[in-house]
Structure 1
């Protein structure tokens, strides 16, 4: 069998190219730190990586939804706490109004204080989140859910219920204003009606002791009912916050598991990879030397 010089050259060059490709591929893996750069490198591992990435994407989307709900519910919980404090201050003023030694002047001063508290309470009822969405907008409303009518009385203009994020986890981003404030859409809100009626009565001059006592008792009943409803809504929001914490903890565990699975599938064993790179580099150097020797193998060189 005769081996031509050209064939020897071709063999040497082909071997050199293979060695160079192997060395380049090993170098790319070392640079990226990934064992699987293409699906063809390891189809089974590539599928594991795809599944893990899909899980991570779902977890990230759900975490964003949970964060939005957490922000809204934290603001709502604070608002409900502030509303309860204001009602407590109004209640104290109402009790003071029942003082038999007070006359029209003192009751008018108390009426002014309660009016200021009432206006603060309305501001809380229409409080919004960072995006401008009403915290107590119920199932959706573009403007303030609690709106004064032509007579200055507060009415509720939103649908009962709460808005939830569109995700696997149903998490609210608004509180049911109808429940929290004991309101009916299109009608006057009971707690504000109680306060407005009481303010009018305190400003009325010449009231008898019996009339004052009756007005105070009626107001206290309405205030207590309003406080009870707000406290119940606050408890619901607290339960939601606890549920969000549990969901986030579960998502963190799921995310860690997905990242670990992806790492196991695609990450490179650096010690083994460095050893493999060194071996391939040695092989490439040997191929270069072999090619250099083949270049000198010629009949004319031999005859010289």
Structure 2
């Protein structure tokens, strides 16, 4: 078969071009260390690689969110630690103040010190993060959460808690509302609170009491009235809801300062010598802010305490403050434990996220990465093939009938 010279050149040029193209593609693979240069090289693997790349990017963003969450929780933890230390100092001050030998001037000094602690507590409650957002304002992060009012504080924030998505299936709270931290404190013993009437003239000091039989406790609202004097002192109990005495305390009951007073599943004591007509109250516990507790304590310290009856009122007020401070401290410690649990969870999620990132990287490597040994071998083979084709084309193109005519 005759082959025209033009056909021979066209075929040779086409074959050399094909070999050069394949060699160039292999060289690009070696340069990028990628098996796929375009999606057309492996459509299925390319689609899967895109999906894994997106998942890996989302996982990286979750890691950033966890870091931001950890930073926010660390700021909350620092504030709660300061609040814990401050409440412990105030508790010590309350114990120190409940000393009958202190003078009015001594108690005034303690009241001034307590006012400084109250200002410190306002500062802690109105703390901001590095961006100027208030830590304990809920969703109203641009609003100072607590404003001073006579006798306490007013909460200006809301009940919201900011959250961050820290994994595909988990959101973590990075803040707690100021109401939950500083106002969610149960008064008294958590079930009921005892108090002495301001008009009392005796020296009776009532304890915080306790629940001894919840099943036999129909009410937590009672009025206790004392009558008589000396060894003939008695007390009467009236249920504030029904106006009737409880079944186990009907009629005047003999009083002894050395014995517990128990009825309706409750138990408490009244020490000292209550005067005839003195009244004490048992009311259901309610929630009270730490600012009101501290403000009430300041007022108690500044109240006159020049006689035995006034000293008894001082003891009653300070005992009540001590109970409420203990409740406030327990509440802050509980929230600190919650913050610590969230920080621990972030550490666990970080470890899981790192493992997931390694899995994504391994999957992408299997889909995209080039087998360098195989690619180098193929490149070398293509190079030899191209060189042989170039030499053979040169030899064939040099053949001509005119070389033999002469």
TM-score (norm 1): 0.90
Q: 2-side partners of 1:126 and 1:301: how far apart?
A: 102
Give the secondary structure class of the aligned counterpart of 1:174: coil
Whether the 8 Å CA contact 2:151–2:295 is kept in 1: the answer is no
Paired residue for 1:162? 161
Paired residue for 1:226? 328
Whether the 8 Å CA contact 2:135–2:175 is kept in 1: the answer is yes
Whether the 8 Å CA contact 2:76–2:135 is kept in 1: the answer is yes
Whether the 8 Å CA contact 1:140–1:162 is kept in 2: the answer is no
Give the secondary structure class of the aligned counterpart of 1:181: helix
Paired residue for 2:188? none
1:97-131 Cα deviation digits (max 9, x unpaired):
11222112221221222222222222211222222
The CA deviation at 1:299 is 3.6
Whether the 8 Å CA contact 2:143–2:157 is kept in 1: the answer is no
Paired residue for 1:87? 87
Whether the 8 Å CA contact 2:151–2:296 is kept in 1: the answer is no
1:113-165 Cα deviation digits (max 9, x unpaired):
2222222222211222222222222244322112224x473211122131112
Q: 248, 256, 265: which one pairs with 2:350? A: 248
Whether the 8 Å CA contact 1:83–1:121 is kept in 2: the answer is yes
Paired residue for 1:298? 400
The CA deviation at 1:74 is 2.0
Q: 2-side partners of 1:189 and 1:252: how far apart?
A: 45
Paired residue for 1:130? 130
Paired residue for 1:55? 55
Q: 1-side partners of 2:86 and 2:71: how far apart?
A: 23
Q: 292, 312, 337: which one pairs with 1:210? A: 312
Paired residue for 2:294? 195
Q: 263, 272, 275: which one pairs with 2:377? A: 275
Whether the 8 Å CA contact 2:20–2:386 is kept in 1: the answer is yes
CA separation of 1:9/1:116 partners in 2, compared to 1, >3 Å: closer, same or farther? same
Higher strand share: 2
Could you say what the CA RMSD is over the residues aligned between the two structures, in angstroms?
A: 2.2
Q: 2-side partners of 1:160 and 1:130: how far apart?
A: 22
The CA deviation at 1:200 is 2.9
Unaligned ranges ≥5, structure 1 = none
Whether the 8 Å CA contact 2:162–2:175 is kept in 1: the answer is yes
Q: 2-side partners of 1:27 and 1:116: how far apart?
A: 76
Give the secondary structure class of the aligned counterpart of 1:147: strand
TM-score (norm 2): 0.69
Bigger Cα Rg: 2
The CA deviation at 1:205 is 5.0
Whether the 8 Å CA contact 2:23–2:382 is kept in 1: the answer is yes
The reply on whether 1:175 has 2:274 as its aligned counterpart is no
CA separation of 1:200/1:303 partners in 2, compared to 1, >3 Å: closer, same or farther? farther
Q: Which stretch has the larger CA shift, 257-266 or 171-180?
A: 171-180
The reply on whether 1:153 has 2:152 as its aligned counterpart is yes
Aligned residues: 300
Unaligned ranges ≥5, structure 2 = 186-286
CA separation of 1:225/1:174 partners in 2, compared to 1, >3 Å: closer, same or farther? same
Q: 2-side partners of 1:5 and 1:135: how far apart?
A: 87
**Greater relative contact order (Cα 8 A, min sep 6): structure 1 or 2?**
1
The CA deviation at 1:89 is 0.6
Q: 1-side partners of 2:177 and 2:341: how far apart?
A: 14
Q: 2-side partners of 1:247 and 1:66: how far apart?
A: 8
Q: 1-side partners of 2:25 and 2:66: how far apart?
A: 42
Paired residue for 2:239? none
Where in structure 1 do 4 or more consecutive aligned residues deviate above 6 Å? none
Paired residue for 1:288? 390
The reply on whether 1:28 has 2:28 as its aligned counterpart is yes
Give the secondary structure class of the aligned counterpart of 1:170: strand
Higher helix share: 1
Paired residue for 1:261? 363
